[in-house]
Amino acid sequence: MLKHFAFMYILGVIVSDGGFSSSGVHTSTCVKLSASKTYYWSKDFGRGFRYALAKVGISSMRDKDGVTRHENGKTVEFRSWRSFQTPFVRWMKDSLLGLRSSTPKSQIPIQADWILRMPHDWRVAFLQGVSDGDGWANITEPNAGITSMVNKDFLIRLLTSLGVEASRSTPNVIIRKKDAVRRAARLPMFRHAAGRQERLTRIMVMLDSVKRRRISEEELKTIMALHKQRFSSGQITKELLSKFGIFRRSSTIRNVIKRNSKKKVENLD
């Protein structure tokens, strides 16, 4: 990774999963990263983060693992890494991203229009940092996107500048259109979040290879049988892909179920 790409990647991680700690030293701060152990690639994410920091001359270390308990009682174990305190990180946070306020960054949008004027590959590196932290890819819809409560407008402009059309949908920026999904996969959208990029690439392959045709009688019987067994529309999508080699959107599955359930009621009348 070239130094300028590492720099942009770090900025992207800061915008997504990065946190800060200053330990009372107002001129310096450190950036921290935590990644759930649920993701098999979380170690690679952390190592990639540390490598990027090293490329721009910032020392870092592996931090203690932790556990987060959610309101529903579910616990999530995570791995952590952090840089050493430095004025350089403080400058990146305050001046380059406009996060000078003591308000948590999850509550204030970044001020970084300069990123949109940078060369294409620089913007891709920044997007990868954001996406490795807060991005996702959904095979059953199929679509991809980034979760963000405060930076939706900026991220849509960033994606648009890279030729990827996206739209708002709380709390996400969503990439829905087939051509946009293909472009996002080819950037690539993710760098170290291997599982997400694998799903996005698989979506692209499905969109490129699966021939659209009317739902056959055998497909219909399978859909209704699985629905009767309480399979979700997403699960049915995967079953159809496995059995017939045909991809159907979850929304298509739901419409088929609704239409045929209605026919059964009418026949009973």
Residues 123 and 235 in one domain: no
113 falls in which pLDDT band (50, 70, 90)?
Answer: very high
Local confidence band at 69 (pLDDT 50, 70, 90 cut-offs): confident
Predicted local distance difference test score (pLDDT) of residue 184: 96
Residue 40 lies in a domain: yes
Question: Has residue 165 got a pLDDT over 90?
Answer: yes
pLDDT in tens, 182-233: 999 999 999 999 999 999 988 887 777 555 568 889 989 999 999 999 999 8
Kindly tell me if the per-residue pLDDT of 268 is higher than 80: no
Same domain, 179 and 221: no
Residue after which a domain boundary falls, among 203, 230, 258: 203
Q: How many CA atoms lie within 13 A of 109 on its CB side?
A: 10
* C-alpha to C-alpha distances, 100 to 97, 117, 166, 204, 257, nearest whole angstrom: 8, 22, 28, 40, 52
Same domain (yes/no): 48, 155: yes
* Pairwise CA distance, residues 151 & 15, whole Å: 9
Give, in degrees to the nearest 5, the angle at Cα 126 between 95 and 13. Answer: 75
Residue 108 lies in a domain: yes
pLDDT band, very low/low/confident/very high, at 101 (cuts 50, 70, 90): confident
Instruction: List, for residues 31-64, the tens digit of each pLDDT value.
Output: 999 999 999 999 999 999 999 999 999 999 999 9
Domain count, the chain: 2
Tell me how far apart the alpha carbons of residues 125 and 82 are, in angstroms, rounded to a whole number: 20
Whether 187 and 230 share a structural domain: no
| pLDDT over 80 (residue 26) | no
The answer on 222 and 186 residing in a single domain is: no
Residue 202 is predicted with a pLDDT of: 84
Hey, how many other C-beta atoms are within 10 angstroms of the C-beta on 73?
Answer: 6
pTM of the model: 0.81
Over the stretch 238-260, which tens digit does the pLDDT of each residue have? 888 778 877 787 888 899 999 88
- Please give the pLDDT value at position 239: 86
Q: How confident is the model at residue 264 (pLDDT cuts 50, 70, 90)?
A: low
127: domain CATH number is 3.10.28.10
- For residues 171 and 73, membership in a common domain is answered with yes
